[in-house]
Amino acid sequence: QQPVQSPQAVILREGEDAVINCSSSKALYSVHWYRQKHGEAPVFLMILLKGGEQKGHEKISASFNEKKQQSSLYLTASQLSYSGTYFCGAGLGDKIIFGKGTRLHILP
Amino acid sequence: NAGVMQNPRHLVRRRGQEARLRCSPMKGHSHVYWYRQLPEEGLKFMVYLQKENIIDESGMPKERFSAEFPKEGPSILRIQQVVRGDSAAYFCASSIQGASNQPQHFGDGTRLSIL
């Protein structure tokens, strides 16, 4: 039931791009993306509600392929502030089931 | 601060004691979720509550754990007779509606340490 995220960890240099994938074995009503910095609360990034929907703000965007039950998070021209662990959440009924996370480390 | 408020931030208990974790949702939110997070792990869903009702407790251990969200006051996650394996960060989140198509806003968590 828990969505699977890949890769587990990424190391980038500032300015490089990254893609984080999330796939579910169950049909998804929605996909949620959160970022958590060490010792802090998870912070909501975006929610995708429709198949094929793409959303984004600034240089972070995401897509949701409802048929394949997959979502991808795109980080463009990464900044140091993007470092953290990214979680995708599968919207299932009245709750969200989170993946294990992808650790992103940005080097200057 | 109109965000989700959790207290205490850190809680130390000895084995066998009780732990009480509190969560006040964002203003205007009446749906509360509790999650548990172990180091380097994801957020594991525990329970979903509305005022005076437990809606989904499928992630709660059957023994020693209980949760409530009374008409007045914060939501409480209670762990009785704590054991070392209960050591974790416990996060509370709230949303304006209960469906999975609404964003959840998280508190800063309670770090529970069992001696």
Please give, rounded to a whole number of angstroms, the shortest distance from the CA of A35 to a CA of chain B: 11
| Cβ partners under 8 Å of residue A60, min gap 6 | A45, A46, A73, A74, A75, A76, A82
Walk along chain A (108 residues) and give the pLDDT tens digit of each residue: 799 999 999 999 999 999 999 999 888 788 999 999 998 999 999 999 866 566 666 789 998 888 888 999 999 999 999 999 999 999 888 889 999 999 999 999
Distance CA A88, CA B66 (A): 27
> Is residue B79 within 8 Å of B65, Cβ to Cβ?
yes
Q: Which residues of A touch B44 (CB under 8 A)?
A: 98
> Is residue A60 within 8 Å of A75, Cβ to Cβ?
yes
User: Could you tell me if B45 lies within 8 Å of chain A, comparing CB atoms?
Assistant: yes
Distance CA A92, CA A97 (A): 7
Q: State which residue of chain A sits closest to B33, comparing Cα positions.
A: A95
Phi first, then psi: what are they for B62, rounded to 5°? -70, -30
A95:B56 CB<8 A: yes
pLDDT at position B98: 81
> Is residue A90 within 8 Å of B35, Cβ to Cβ?
no
| Cβ partners under 8 Å of residue A30, min gap 6 | A47, A48, A49, A91, B100, B101
Residue with tokens 């980038």: A12
Residue with tokens 């909501």: A44
Residue B57's nearest CA partner among B89, B32, B88, B94 is B32
Please give, rounded to a whole number of angstroms, the shortest distance from the CA of B97 to a CA of chain A: 9
A93:B43 CB<8 A: no
> Is residue A60 within 8 Å of A100, Cβ to Cβ?
no
pLDDT at position B18: 98
Distance CA A3, CA B108 (A): 24
- The minimal CB distance from B56 to the residues A49, A94, A99 is found for A94
Residue A5's nearest CA partner among A89, A107, A95 is A89
Distance CA A89, CA A23 (A): 10
Walk along chain B (115 residues) and give the pLDDT tens digit of each residue: 579 999 999 999 999 999 999 999 999 899 999 999 998 788 999 999 999 999 999 999 999 999 999 999 999 999 999 999 999 999 999 999 887 788 999 999 999 999 9
